[in-house]
Amino acid sequence: MFVIIGMVVVLGGVLGGYMMEHGNFSVLIQPAEFIIIGGAALGSLLISAPPRVLKLIVKDIGKIFGGGGAGREAYIELLLLLNQLFWKIRREGLLAIEGDVENPIQSAIFNKFGTIISNHHALDFICDNFRVIITTNMAPHELDTLLEIDMESNHNDALIPAISINKVGDALPGLGIVAAVLGVVITMGKISEPPEVLGHSIGAALVGTFLGVLACYGFVGPMATNLEHKVADHEIYFTVIKTALVSFVGGAAPQIAVESGRRAIPGSERPSFLELEEEIKKWKDKM
């Protein structure tokens, strides 16, 4: 929603200022310039990006117009899930959660938390690492290193669409100049025409530069930045899981491990200690 509002504000500011100076909107409508810049930008993307990268870009484009990262409620659900798994291990042993992590969709614990069930990356991350904890006797520092490797790999992969889109954005001003130069070439063929015709032709050529710069700094660049922020939010969510798991494997009590995870949440989205304690109390009352 905010992305669309931002686009409207960008266009409103640019075109509004142009209108205040009594600009002629018909001059800005240059389909040929759009085709030159848009086609060249798309072609450069196809040249630079292998099929795997193109699939990632297409998959992530929709995320630009989606919501933000995990909110307070999503973090509370995550901490409650980890709390229940930790307590089950503490009461019944590690093997007690084997069925839950092997088939989380059928698990009575996981099915209480819809945001996690629908987040396949987070679900796989939690289950895979609980499998490691169950099947190996890994020291806390070794588990921490393993999780860091996993998170870094996912982080680098998730950044690929943002980096690729940003590079296309960086190329747009240059492609706008290409369109403008072609317009000047056409104008030179009209050198014998009256000044009014030449002025219109030069103005149309300069629209290419305008469109390239506007598309770069007003739309494509901010879209890439939007994706970067979403990747950062995604990484924080995984950091919460990692922090809680390493703390628990290190011998911390379930409530301490969950509290360690809570402290990894950014302050703007972090539930208070009392808020989380109240949610855990509600869970205990239902047992």
pLDDT in tens, 51-79: 999 999 998 888 888 776 678 888 999 99
pLDDT in tens, 17-54: 988 888 888 888 888 899 999 999 999 999 999 999 99
Tell me which amino acid residue 180 is: A
For residue 68, the model assigns a pLDDT of: 66
For residue 55, the model assigns a pLDDT of: 92
For residue 193, the model assigns a pLDDT of: 82
Q: Which two tokens stand for residue 162?
A: 């943002």
**End-to-end CA, the chain:** 40
Cα dihedral 196, 199, 201, 205, rounded to 10, equals -170
DSSP helix/strand/coil, 268: coil
Packing angle, helices 72-92 and 273-286, rounded to 10:
50
Packing angle, helices 221-249 and 2-20, rounded to 10:
150
Q: Which two tokens stand for residue 21?
A: 């100076």
Please, are residues 151 and 238 in contact by the beta-carbon 8 Å criterion? Answer: yes
pLDDT in tens, 205-256: 899 999 999 999 999 999 999 999 999 988 999 999 999 999 999 999 999 9
Cα(211)–Cα(222) distance, rounded to whole angstroms? 15
Q: Is the pLDDT of residue 287 over 60?
A: no
Cα(142)–Cα(44) distance, rounded to whole angstroms? 43
DSSP state string for 172-199: HHHHHHHHHHHHHHHHHTTTTS-HHHHH
| Count of beta carbons in the 10 Å neighbourhood of residue 136 | 11
For residue 280, the model assigns a pLDDT of: 84
**For the chain, what percent of residues have pLDDT higher than 90?**
56
Mean pLDDT, the chain, rounded, equals: 90
For residue 285, the model assigns a pLDDT of: 60
Cα(144)–Cα(54) distance, rounded to whole angstroms? 32
